[in-house]
Amino acid sequence: MPSLPDMMTPDAEGLARQAGQGGAHAPAADADQDAFVEFLLRMGDNALILGHRNSEWCGHGPVLEEDIAMSNIALDLIGQTALWLGLAGEVEGKGRSADDLAYLRDAWDFRNLLLVERPNGDFGATLMRQFLFDAFHFLQLRALTGSADPRVAEIAQKALKEVSYHLERSAEQVIALGDGTAESHARMQAALDDQWGYAQEMFASDATDVTMAAAGIAPDPASLRKPWDDTVDAVLAQATLKRPESSFAHKGGKQGTHTEHLGYILAEMQFLQRAYPGASW
Amino acid sequence: MSSEWPLWEVFIRGQHGLNHRHVGSLHAPDADMAIKHARDVYTRRNEGVSIWVVKSVDIAASSPSEKGPLFEPSNDKVYRHPTFYDIPDEVGHM
Amino acid sequence: MYAQLVKSEGKSQAELTPEDIAFQERIDRGEKIEPKEWMPEGYRKTLIRQIGQHAHSEIVGQLPEGNWITRAPTLERKQILLAKVQDEAGHGLYLYCAAETLGVSRDQLLEKLHSGEMKYSSIFNYPTLTWADMGAVGWLVDGAAIMNQVPLQRTSYGPYSRAMIRICKEESFHQRQGYAIMMKMATGTPEQKRMAQDALNRLWYPSLMMFGPSDKDSVHSVQSMAWKIKMNSNDELRQKFVDQTVPQAEYLGLTVPDPNLKWNEEKGGYDFSEPDWDEFYQVLKGNGPCNKERLGARVKAWEDGAWYRDAMVAHAKKKAARAVAAE
């Protein structure tokens, strides 16, 4: 994607400096530790729920090559889930594994963005959601490679490689489908309009985010707004799609107030663990 | 419209610096997507590999001779692959 | 196996031309036949049918296991299952490409699948009802498929042979992951053991059907074997499968649902009951438990994806035109 702004070159140092401004002190009073766990759940739950949604396409994609590519993205995200939730359990210190966290929490304890739990819609809507999230995820991970917590930086390093590719792919396809036919253009514009309000939740900082930024562990999501806008605007322009004007944000996912959809995802995903408690699989 | 995506031949050079090798084919709307698909289908995203794609219709290949097509093994191998090798019996067994 | 009852288009001995005979001699010498080389029309048509059916089986075969991806019980199981079903898409892709070297396009083959003109393996018309089925499908269905695919690496048609080599290499983990699930279940809670036995009960005979009916009288088989498109007889592979699988079931502490199963010292293999061939033909005719769902899912994916495929081509054309205009 040569025409995109420079999003493939990690500026880890700059962002790390920014993230680390308040973070000279050693990690974690108790309040900080709660916020840290909360933050890790947000990372893990976004990856888990989006990976789960993407995996629903396996066997149902519009063409074999895309079926395979979408499964690769889902595999990457579920792999990242295991790392983030594994670390969340470790930091929490109550002996919960990544699987415990994925399979034994109810919806109100999930911390993913509303955007990623919404139903897939058509393949174009899935790609639009992927793009809006990838553009954010990429910036977030790039900043996290400079985290004051080396475990976070290490996971981010690995995930960033994968997500750079996700973004390259989803951006290219949003451009292609926006530009393609009258029908594809209309579908992509509708998908964008539909998801725009949900995408805004990504930048809504709360107390957890502020604490993490102050500790130098993670960037304040609000600080990612500008570079996200740059990427998204550039891609939408090439895609001949119109950026929605509304700045309204649907919120709540990060704090555990979800849409009705998440309950159904969990009912399906957690079925075996719930029906046969304690069994080993 | 419903036009079929064109067929591409995929050539990959692995990390060990050998020549690009034909690994298979796939369908893609254009060269950029063909390279991405090749990465997803044929390398499962190994990094450090170089991928070539070329439209199958653009490959010029030598033809079997008019005289002896039945008796001479032909050199017309558009789909050049490593020669056949035996998979040991253990494959597929427990 | 994934290609059942493939009609072969051979000629009688008297009809053979000198070209036919020379072609057969090449095959007998172990030479590979490559695209664009002369081949009998019957060889080409039979191969298209067989490779096409094999490819269709891979992509329809994504569905019964895909059914459990969103319900896999751990993150690791989810990844393994997703990777496996993804592999099946890849194997379909390789096989369609091999068929395309014979002068048929992938879209044409898919049309024939969607219209019901071409078949896929009967096994994928059975439902996957519990998590143990993910184990049993890997263990039994992939186990049966591998019986067929390993020898097919030596098939006479070059592109088919190469596709099989790649597929066998990638598939080596499929059966093992299935058996690993079965081991977990068989040593797990009483409910898990019950699930494992239930899966074996339901999938045993459909797995035996995968090899097709006894082919000792079939002229099609004889011709396909002479052409090295088919490497072993159905009965031979079925026997081998039973002999391999029964001890594995015993190791799991599970009972093969066949009261007639008995070791036959003389032949050095098991005696076993035939599956219900009426059921087999009913399933092929479209009356299996999941025929409509399976084919319906494929048709829906294809039709829902039409706008996407068209738009990607339209964009590629515009992009190319813009590049030309810019020069």
Query: Quick one: pLDDT band at residue C4, thresholds 50, 70, 90?
Result: confident
- Point out the residue among A58, A62, A181 whose CB comes nearest to the CB of C85: A58
Would you say residue B87 has pLDDT above 60? no
- Give the gap in angstroms from C-alpha A103 to the nearest C-alpha of chain C: 8
* Mean pLDDT, range C256-271, rounded to an integer: 97
For residue A3, count other CB atoms closer than 10 A to its CB: 11
- Nearest C-alpha in A relative to B36: A169
Chains with 3+ CB–CB pairs under 8 A to B are A, C
Query: Quick one: pLDDT band at residue A1, thresholds 50, 70, 90?
Result: very low
CB pairs under 8 A between A and B: 31
- Give the gap in angstroms from C-alpha B72 to the nearest C-alpha of chain A: 37
pLDDT of residue C214: 87
Judged by DSSP in three states, C207 sits in helix
- Nearest C-alpha in B relative to A2: B32
Beta bridge partners of B26: B8
Residue C146 touches partner B, C-beta closer than 8 Å: yes
Name which of B7, B10, B33, B39 to mutate to probe chain A: the one with the most chain A Cβ atoms within 10 A of its Cβ. Answer: B33
Which helix (H) or strand (E) covers residue C24, if one does? helix C18-28
Q: A63: which chain C residues are within 8 Å (Cβ-Cβ)?
A: 305, 308-309
- Nearest C-alpha in B relative to C179: B94
Would you say residue A89 has pLDDT above 60? yes
Contact at CB, C166 and B24, closer than 8 angstroms: yes
In angstroms, the CA C17 to CA C9 distance is: 15
Give ∠ CA C124-A52-B30 in degrees, rounded to 5: 80
- The mean pLDDT of chain C is 94
For C283, phi then psi, to 5°, come to -65, -45
- The mean pLDDT of chain A is 92
Can you give the C-alpha Rg of chain B in angstroms? 17
Per-residue pLDDT tens over the stretch A108-142: 999 999 999 999 999 999 999 999 999 999 999 99
In angstroms, the CA C169 to CA C91 distance is: 11
Q: Which of C8-22, C96-110, C275-289 is least confident?
A: C8-22
- Give the gap in angstroms from C-alpha A153 to the nearest C-alpha of chain C: 22
Query: Quick one: pLDDT band at residue C7, thresholds 50, 70, 90?
Result: confident
* C-alpha distance across the termini of chain B, in Å: 49
* Superfamily of the domain at A27-266: Ferritin, core subunit, four-helix bundle (1.20.1260.10)
In angstroms, the CA C166 to CA A174 distance is: 33
- Give the gap in angstroms from C-alpha B40 to the nearest C-alpha of chain A: 6
Helices (H), C34-74: 41-60, 62-66
pLDDT of residue C173: 86
pLDDT of residue B94: 44
Q: A68: which chain B residues are within 8 Å (Cβ-Cβ)?
A: 37, 40-41
Residue in this structure with the two tokens 């080396």, named with its chain if needed = A150
Q: Which of A45-59, A220-234, C2-16, C296-310 is least confident?
A: C2-16
In angstroms, the CA A246 to CA C224 distance is: 66
Contact at CB, A180 and C314, closer than 8 angstroms: yes
CB pairs under 8 A between A and C: 151
pLDDT of residue B47: 59
Q: Which of A91-105, A193-207, B37-51 is least confident?
A: B37-51
Per-residue pLDDT tens over the stretch C197-233: 999 999 999 999 999 998 776 667 889 999 999 999 9
Would you say residue C61 has pLDDT above 70? yes
Would you say residue B82 has pLDDT above 50? no
What residue type is assigned to position A243 of the chain? Answer: R
* Mean pLDDT, range A34-38, rounded to an integer: 97
Beta bridge partners of C262: C271
Per-residue pLDDT tens over the stretch C307-325: 999 999 999 999 999 999 9
Tallying the residues shown for chain C, one arrives at: 327
In angstroms, the CA C171 to CA C2 distance is: 14
pLDDT of residue A99: 98
What residue type is assigned to position C243 of the chain? Answer: D
Residues 83-112 in C contacting B (C-alpha not used; CB under 8 Å): 90, 93-94, 97, 100-101, 105-107
Contact at CB, A65 and B40, closer than 8 angstroms: yes
A267: which 2 tokens?
A: 């009912």
Contact at CB, C38 and B64, closer than 8 angstroms: yes
**How many angstroms separate the Cα of C4 from the Cα of each of A215, C192, C292?**
64, 33, 19
Q: Which of A50-64, C6-20, C254-268 is least confident?
A: C6-20
Chains with 3+ CB–CB pairs under 8 A to C are A, B
A39: which 2 tokens?
A: 């933050």
Q: Kindly state the percentage of chain A with pLDDT values over 70.
A: 89
- Give the gap in angstroms from C-alpha C282 to the nearest C-alpha of chain B: 30
Would you say residue A209 has pLDDT above 80? yes
Give the predicted TM-score (pTM) of the model. 0.90
- CB contact set of A276 (below 8 Å; sequence gap of 6+): C189, C191, C192
Answer yes or no: are the C-beta atoms of A156 and A144 closer than 8 Å.
yes
B1: which 2 tokens?
A: 């419209």
Residue B7 touches partner A, C-beta closer than 8 Å: no
In angstroms, the CA C50 to CA C40 distance is: 15
Judged by DSSP in three states, C168 sits in helix
Residue in this structure with the two tokens 């409509």, named with its chain if needed = C292
Residue A64 touches partner B, C-beta closer than 8 Å: yes
Contact at CB, A65 and B28, closer than 8 angstroms: yes
Judged by DSSP in three states, C46 sits in helix
* Mean pLDDT, range C241-248, rounded to an integer: 97
**How many angstroms separate the Cα of B19 from the Cα of each of A6, B12, B14, C227, C251?**
32, 8, 8, 34, 47
DSSP category for residue B55? E
- Point out the residue among B27, B69, B71 whose CB comes nearest to the CB of C106: B27
Beta bridge partners of C157: C33
Residue A58 touches partner B, C-beta closer than 8 Å: no
Per-residue pLDDT tens over the stretch A249-276: 999 999 999 999 999 999 999 999 999 9
Per-residue pLDDT tens over the stretch C139-192: 999 999 999 999 999 999 999 999 999 999 888 789 999 999 999 999 999 999
What residue type is assigned to position A88 of the chain? Answer: A
List chain A domain ranges.
Answer: 27-266
Angle (deg, nearest 10), helices C75-100 and A64-92: 160
Would you say residue C280 has pLDDT above 70? yes
Would you say residue A55 has pLDDT above 50? yes
Contact at CB, B5 and A63, closer than 8 angstroms: yes
Domains and CATH numbers, chain B: 7-62 (3.10.20.520)
Would you say residue B26 has pLDDT above 60? yes
Query: Quick one: pLDDT band at residue A14, thresholds 50, 70, 90?
Result: low
- The mean pLDDT of chain B is 71
Strands C262-264 and B7-13: unpaired
B60: which 2 tokens?
A: 């010029």
Would you say residue C124 has pLDDT above 90? yes
- CB contact set of C242 (below 8 Å; sequence gap of 6+): C208, C269, C270, C272
Residue A165 touches partner B, C-beta closer than 8 Å: yes
